[in-house]
Structure 1
Amino acid sequence: MTARQLARRARLLEAVVEIVTEVGPHALQMREVAERSGVALGTAYKYFRSREQLLAAALAEWQQPLMQRMAAAGRTTEAGPSELVAAYLRRALRAFHRNPHMGALMVLMQTSGDPDVVETLAEMGTRSTAVMEQLLDGLPPETVPVVGRGLEAVLMNAVTALVTGRATLDEAVERVEAVARLLLAGATA
């Protein structure tokens, strides 16, 4: 893409995050995204074939700073895997607690069968897995993928409980930290 195209795409994604933050993913309309971003509706559809693809791309864009901060933290601290993983899980849950509509979007996207959404979530998963592997450095290599998948699953469960009101932030954090301690203890035993 050219610089102008990248700027248009960025404005579209920024508008989606703003709208989802304000009213949630279900109320998002492509026309409003186009108007708010200053991009023609037809042009918006050239970048994103569907509303779901646009939502997934915006979620990935919103998640990126968390992944970057955690990757940096994993490289610059002397903390062990337990402390790094706990910090990552707490930070992720706090982000969804501050913006529950983005948490609702995450849950919604997890149930999508749209191939573009599936591809975007796979890319997000690849980035998340890379960060998790970095945080789990020091564990036996054969346990890292299993522990990582378990932690990602418990995090998704906690996000779902948090955004649906079935858990408070403290309860969600306690759940993920308890499972993380159990998985990490088993991985080092």
Structure 2
Amino acid sequence: MRHSHAGTAAVPAVIGADGGDHAVHPPPAARVSSGVRTRSQHQRRKRIVQAAAALASRGGVEAMQMRTVAERAGVALGTLYRYFPSKMDLLVAVVGEEIDLLESSIERRPPSAETPDGRAVDVLMRATRGLMREPELADALIRSLIMAEVQVPFGDRIAVLLLRVSGNGLTAESASEEQFALAGSLASVWVQELLEMLRGRRTYEQIQRRIEIAAGRLLAGFNG
């Protein structure tokens, strides 16, 4: 079984006069100020990621120069580097943003196929259509998976999504090691097929057929 452990933020404590630990809480004004600053930082980060995606969609990785991204996002270059120390870190964030969009799409319109492999194919082909609307961006994202010098959680996130739709709500924690490995293998097949399509070696129909075959074999043991 796979297990994830979510960390919890530590609360500063001081030793009181009675020898016990007492949590130190910031005054209300400080908490409000911190909340505003966090929202501002989140919005700034989102602007940066969207600017990078827009540039990559028009010219691939080469167009995603850090200075150009900063100018498009309306932030100082130093600010950009505080959020993303390298272009690869920024590309990883763009990958994450694309997966977020896919997950939102799945939540709004869950796959309706009756079989686990049918639902998996629905998700992967929906992702293919979305990416191929912006082939330059798709190429940049796939290249980031192949050349990444930092961890790219793309495969695991796609695998978790496939587990959820194929296994009627399975999670990384509730799935067996074999189930997670099979979902991850299907995600890897899809990435490779997408790369072949970007290279002009596969048509959309060929990818769909190959994904259907792989899903049928890999997910045969999943409960419908």
Measured against the shorter chain, the TM-score band is 0.7 to 0.9
* Alignment check: 8 A CA contact 2:193 2:207 kept: yes
Q: 1:82 aligns with which of 98, 117, 125?
A: 117
Q: What does residue range 1-189 of structure 1 map to in structure 2 within 5 Å?
A: 2-71=38-107, 73-74=109-110, 77=112, 79-115=114-150, 118=151, 121-122=152-153, 124-137=154-167, 141=176, 143-185=178-220, 187=221
Q: Mark the runs of 5 or more structure 2 residues left unpaired by the alignment.
A: 1-36
| Distance in structure 2 (CA, Å) of the matches to 1:127 and 1:142 | 15
What are the superposed Cα offsets for residues 97-126 of structure 1, whole Å, 9 maximum, x if unpaired? 2111222122211123423xx1xx22x344
Percent identity between the two aligned chains: 29
Given the superposition, is the C-alpha separation of residues 146 and 59 from structure 1 closer, same or farther in structure 2, using an over 3 Å criterion?
closer
| Distance in structure 2 (CA, Å) of the matches to 1:173 and 1:78 | 15
* Range moving further from structure 2, 102-111 or 25-34: 102-111
3-state SS, counterpart of residue 24 of structure 1: helix
TM-score by structure 1 length?
Answer: 0.84
What are the superposed Cα offsets for residues 58-99 of structure 1, whole Å, 9 maximum, x if unpaired? 12112211023225555x857331221110121111122211
Choose 1 or 2 for highest CA Rg: 2
* Range moving further from structure 2, 17-26 or 106-115: 106-115
Write 1 or 2 for the structure with the bigger share of helix.
Answer: 1
TM-score by structure 2 length?
Answer: 0.72
Given the superposition, is the C-alpha separation of residues 113 and 93 from structure 1 closer, same or farther in structure 2, using an over 3 Å criterion?
closer
1:53 counterpart letter in structure 2: D
3-state SS, counterpart of residue 147 of structure 2: coil
Structure 1 equivalent of residue 15 of structure 2: none
3-state SS, counterpart of residue 58 of structure 1: helix
